């Protein structure tokens, strides 16, 4: 009778431990999903601002078609990018580079640089970039915590039982940090 009670208590303890670990892993997985959705929201916000920016620049720098087309193409690629962090990061890197080139053009057009709409859009995009950076950091922290949690013992046992898979980080490629080269025909 005593050994049966010990077995029942042990099974109950293991059952409770599995439930607790499972719930912790679910909470971390939801945090990662939430963090990803925050990146997605900010990227969409930036994509919504770009058409207005392009139209404003067109009025002042109509003959700078290459830079404008690069931004439009990068925006389209970003809209069509897959749902994985790697695909989104690649599209985001291309768009960031195209936007840097577009903003570099403003240096050659003092009237554009002084235009209230352009300045407002540039400021709005700058604020959005800051939000994107914060969302990326939050996502990275969430992914790191989740990936660590599913690899620690005894969590790894529960994670394997319930197919908790590692999540991918949103990483900027080295080319994204390279400053743009702009040629004004000199």
C-beta pairs of 46-51 under 8 Å, 24+ apart in sequence: 46/95, 46/125, 46/128, 46/129, 46/132, 47/75, 47/78, 47/79, 47/95, 49/121, 49/124, 49/125, 49/128, 50/75, 50/99, 51/75
Looking at domain 22-177, what is its CATH homologous superfamily?
LemA-like domain (1.20.1440.20)
Using a pLDDT cut of 70, give the percent of the chain over it: 89
Question: Higher pLDDT residue, 175 or 94?
Answer: 94
Contact 186, 107 (CB under 8 A): no
Query: Position of tokens 């720098």?
Result: 61
Instruction: Provide the token pair at 133.
Output: 């950076």
Question: Higher pLDDT residue, 103 or 162?
Answer: 162
pLDDT tier, 184 (very low <50, low <70, confident <90, very high otherwise): very low
Contact 80, 55 (CB under 8 A): no
pLDDT tier, 62 (very low <50, low <70, confident <90, very high otherwise): low
Give the residue from 119, 121, 94 showing the smallest Cα distance to 109: 119
Q: What is the pTM of this model?
A: 0.72
- 83-134 pLDDT per residue, tens: 788 888 888 888 888 888 877 777 777 777 677 777 888 888 888 888 988 9
Q: Residue 177: its pLDDT value, please?
A: 45
């Amino acid at each position: 009778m005593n050994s049966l009670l010990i077995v029942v208590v042990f099974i109950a303890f293991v059952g409770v431990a599995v439930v607790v670990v499972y719930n912790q892993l679910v909470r971390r997985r939801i945090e990662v999903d939430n963090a990803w959705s925050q990146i997605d929201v900010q990227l969409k916000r930036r994509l919504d601002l770009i058409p207005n920016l392009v139209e404003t620049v067109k009025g002042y720098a109509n003959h700078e078609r290459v830079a404008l087309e690069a931004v439009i193409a990068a925006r389209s690629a970003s809209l069509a990018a897959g749902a994985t962090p790697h695909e989104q990061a690649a599209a985001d890197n291309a768009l960031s580079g195209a936007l840097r080139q577009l903003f570099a053009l403003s240096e050659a057009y003092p009237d554009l640089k002084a235009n209230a709409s352009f300045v407002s859009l540039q400021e709005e995009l700058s604020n959005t970039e800051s939000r994107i950076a914060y969302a990326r950091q939050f996502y990275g922290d969430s992914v790191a915590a989740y990936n660590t949690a599913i690899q620690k013992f005894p969590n790894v046992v529960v994670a394997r039982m319930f197919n908790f898979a590692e999540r991918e980080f949103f990483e900027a490629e080295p080319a994204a940090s390279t400053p743009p080269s702009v040629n004004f025909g000199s």
